[in-house]
């Protein structure tokens, strides 16, 4: 099949096609199509579904370029993954952050459901395997709300539960001991804003990254409060966390309920809360799965391999 795409008059073709047509070569290799450029017209030749997918991706690339004034290789990879996972661009509800990226969008249909649940509800649970963007998207929504002055504060908390290692044997004082547990939260923040801005917000107490135990006794108003790795909370800890929610605030609880590091026989607080609070208006629960893994492509294969081995064990 042969399809034609008419580029807009103000579309810079060099930026759209990439250095030495790098982005076009990627589409040719990924989709098995031929792409020929003739002035402002792009001709795509290949199987019907592949040619149609290539045209749709090119249109999204063009819109991204015209909207933001640039098109990076990361943008192109993101758009290709979105198309493969049947996700439409969220032009009407972008997650606007401080970083050079400007806007963060979902890669998969599951992530799209997650973002919409976060925006609609004051309390959202999200469970799923590693690499599905549970924490990253929660932080993105929080940063976006801060940028829009919809909240005054972001609080990121994690239970300091050992995954096969003992906290007491780590070097340094208590702050040094808990920092490794909080590092993934800092990593997500650093992708949303530059380091100096993040440090300024933390010095002004606008952003807090703390162990879950430090939440006790507080009421958090006009804030987004995120509990990460919540599968490692007990029922008592989860109740303590949930009751910190103040007026004008939003709470997000993320974790992988298949990777619990609690002592044997201790009930997972996240699973208990999802079951207990089911059906209450304003509370949502989103389950992401292997298809939503957006890290290196090997991560999805690793998760699937471990799940397969687990299913065949006696």
Model pLDDT for residues 86-140, shown as the tens digit of each residue: 666 544 456 888 876 667 878 788 888 999 999 999 999 999 998 899 999 999 9
Low-confidence winner among 172-176, 222-226, 237-241 (lowest mean pLDDT): 172-176
Residues contacting residue 62 through CB under 8 Å, at least 6 positions apart: 7, 8, 11, 16
193-198 contacts, C-beta under 8 A, 24 or more apart? 193/97, 193/98, 193/99, 193/143, 194/98, 194/99, 197/98
The number of beta carbons lying within 10 Å of the beta carbon of residue 300 is 19
Q: Is the dihedral of CA 135, 250, 152, 234 positive or negative?
A: negative
Tokens describing residue 197 = 């801005």
- What percentage of the chain exceeds 70 in pLDDT? 85
Nearest to 125 by CA among 41, 242, 215: 242
Give the CA radius of gyration of the chain.
22
- In the chain, what percentage of residues exceed pLDDT 90? 44
pLDDT at 180: 63
Where does the pLDDT of residue 171 fall: very low under 50, low under 70, confident under 90, or very high at 90 and above? very low
User: Which pLDDT value is given to residue 249?
Assistant: 96
């Amino acid at each position: 099949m042969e399809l034609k795409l008419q580029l807009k008059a103000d579309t810079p073709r060099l930026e759209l096609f990439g250095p030495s047509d790098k982005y076009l070569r990627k589409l040719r290799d990924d989709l098995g199509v031929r792409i020929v450029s003739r002035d402002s017209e792009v001709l795509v030749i290949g199987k019907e579904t592949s040619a149609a997918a290539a045209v749709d991706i090119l249109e999204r690339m063009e819109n991204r370029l015209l909207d933001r004034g640039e098109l990076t290789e990361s943008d192109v990879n993101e758009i290709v993954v979105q198309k493969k996972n049947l996700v439409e661009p969220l032009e009407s509800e972008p997650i606007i952050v401080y970083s050079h990226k400007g806007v963060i969008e979902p890669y998969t249909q599951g992530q799209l459901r997650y973002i919409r649940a976060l925006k609609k509800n004051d309390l959202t649970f999200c469970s799923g395997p590693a690499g599905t963007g549970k924490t990253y998207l929660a932080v993105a929504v929080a940063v976006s709300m801060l940028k829009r002055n919809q909240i005054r504060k972001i609080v990121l908390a994690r239970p300091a539960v050992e995954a096969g290692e003992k906290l007491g044997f780590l070097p340094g004082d208590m702050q040094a001991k808990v920092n490794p547990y909080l590092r993934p939260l800092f990593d997500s923040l650093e992708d949303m804003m530059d380091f100096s801005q993040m440090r300024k917000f933390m010095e002004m107490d606008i952003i807090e990254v703390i162990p879950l135990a430090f939440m006790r006794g507080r009421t958090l108003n006009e804030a987004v409060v995120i509990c990460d790795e919540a599968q490692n909370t007990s029922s008592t800890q989860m109740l303590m966390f949930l009751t910190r929610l103040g007026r004008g605030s939003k709470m997000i609880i993320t974790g992988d309920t298949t990777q619990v590091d609690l002592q044997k026989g201790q009930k997972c607080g996240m699973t208990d809360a999802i079951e207990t609070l089911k059906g209450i208006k304003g509370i949502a629960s989103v389950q992401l799965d292997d298809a939503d893994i957006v890290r290196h492509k090997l991560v999805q294969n690793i998760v699937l391999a471990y799940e397969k081995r687990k299913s065949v064990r006696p």
